[in-house]
């Protein structure tokens, strides 16, 4: 079945550091990738949608200069949290889909900013 | 009005019980419907797609009512391992919309 890998799974770093998270579709070419954020006991909040070779479409309220998304190939998208602060601490999850298939999620990245 | 509305629960049911979750959506042009399962501190995993004719996968049955714009998930013979949050997801052709999730705890 469709496999999406996300790396790293857990990051702890100092305030002001930039953190890059990778999302890879391992056995299929993803036409679209999504980045979500989830706070404890809440549902997923869509941050942005990215199509390969295009600029990401950000949801309202998500700062594009803060959360840099690069979708360089059909199997890789990256999210960079620039100059991360404690309020950026969260669970970040990517998902990938191809054409009319359901999306499949990566295993998430737990980001803790000290 | 939210795109997808779901009763957050919690639902606490004994082992072996049958439990049903409903979810309503606002966009009548929605194309595809899914149920995902999410365990605590884990990513959502696709449980099943929902088809217009209704579909079954073992103890799980999903149904779609386009006229009333709701989808349902029925779990028969609940197991302890069914305890999780169940997310209703609707795809409009442009974007996926998530319900808030329904929390299920199956009690021994």
Do residue B43 and residue A102 have CB atoms under 8 angstroms apart?
no
Q: A41 and B41 in contact (C-beta within 8 Å)?
A: no
Residue from A43, A45, A48, A97 whose CB has the most chain B CBs within 10 Å, to mutate: A43
Omega before B10 within 30 of 0, i.e. cis = yes
Which among B108, B45, B88 is positioned nearest to A1, based on CA atoms? B45
Q: Is the pLDDT of residue B4 over 80?
A: yes
Do residue A43 and residue B98 have CB atoms under 8 angstroms apart?
yes
Q: What is the pLDDT along chain A (114 residues), one digit of tens a residue?
A: 668 999 999 999 999 999 999 999 998 898 899 999 988 777 788 999 998 878 899 999 999 999 999 988 889 999 999 999 999 999 999 999 887 778 888 989 999 999
pLDDT of residue B92: 85
pLDDT of residue A2: 66
Residue from A102, A108, A111, A112 whose CB has the most chain B CBs within 10 Å, to mutate: A102
Contact map slice: B 17-76 vs A, CB within 8 A: 32, 34, 41-46, 49
Q: Give the nearest chain B residue to A99 (CA atoms).
A: B93
Nearest to B49 among A34, A93, A102 (CB): A102
pLDDT of residue A81: 96
Mean pLDDT along residues B3-23: 93
Residues 6+ apart with CB under 8 A from B24: B4, B5, B6, B68, B69, B70
Which two structure tokens, joined as six digits, stand for A46? 């869509």
Which among A40, A57, A61 is positioned nearest to A49, based on CA atoms? A57
Q: Which residues in A lie closer than 8 A to residue B30 (C-beta atoms)?
A: none
pLDDT of residue A7: 93
**How far apart are alpha carbons A71 and A24 in whole angstroms?**
10
Residue written as tokens 């070779």? A53
Q: Give the nearest chain B residue to A96 (CA atoms).
A: B96
Q: A113 and A84 in contact (C-beta within 8 Å)?
A: yes
Residue from A39, A44, A51 whose CB has the most chain B CBs within 10 Å, to mutate: A44
Asked which of A80-89, B19-28, B86-95 is least confident by mean pLDDT, the reply is: B86-95
Give the DSSP letter of residue A61. Answer: T
Which among A109, A114, A112, A113 is positioned nearest to A35, based on CA atoms? A109
Q: Which residues in B lie closer than 8 A to residue A108 (C-beta atoms)?
A: 42-43
CB-based burial of residue B53 (10 Å sphere; 0-12 exposed, 13-18 middle, 19+ buried)? Answer: exposed
Omega before A83 within 30 of 0, i.e. cis = no
Helix (H, G, I), strand (E, B) or coil at B80: helix
Q: Is the pLDDT of residue B81 over 90?
A: yes
Nearest to A102 among B34, B41, B42 (CB): B34
Residue written as tokens 């997808």? B4
| Residue count (chain B) | 108
pLDDT of residue A63: 93
**How far apart are alpha carbons B96 and A106 in whole angstroms?**
16
């Amino acid at each position: 079945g469709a496999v999406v890998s996300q790396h790293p799974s857990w990051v702890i770093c100092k305030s002001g550091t930039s953190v890059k998270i990778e999302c890879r579709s391992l056995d299929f070419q993803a036409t679209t990738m999504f980045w979500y954020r989830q706070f404890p006991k809440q549902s997923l909040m869509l941050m942005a949608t990215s199509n390969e070779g295009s600029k990401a479409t950000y949801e309202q309220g998500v700062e594009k200069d803060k959360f840099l998304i690069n979708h360089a190939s059909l199997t890789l998208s990256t999210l960079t949290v620039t100059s991360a602060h404690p309020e950026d601490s969260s669970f970040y999850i990517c998902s990938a889909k191809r054409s009319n298939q359901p999306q499949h999620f990566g295993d998430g990245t737990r980001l803790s900013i000290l | 009005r939210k795109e997808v509305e779901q009763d957050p629960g919690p639902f606490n049911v004994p082992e072996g019980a049958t439990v049903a979750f409903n979810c309503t959506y606002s966009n009548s042009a929605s194309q595809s419907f899914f149920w995902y399962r999410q365990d605590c501190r884990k990513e959502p995993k696709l449980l099943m797609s929902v088809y217009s004719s209704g579909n079954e996968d073992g103890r799980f049955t999903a149904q779609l009512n386009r006229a009333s714009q709701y989808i349902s998930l029925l779990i028969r013979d609940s197991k302890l391992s069914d305890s999780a949050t169940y997310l209703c997801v609707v795809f409009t052709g442009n974007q996926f919309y998530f319900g808030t999730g329904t929390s299920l705890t199956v009690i021994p």
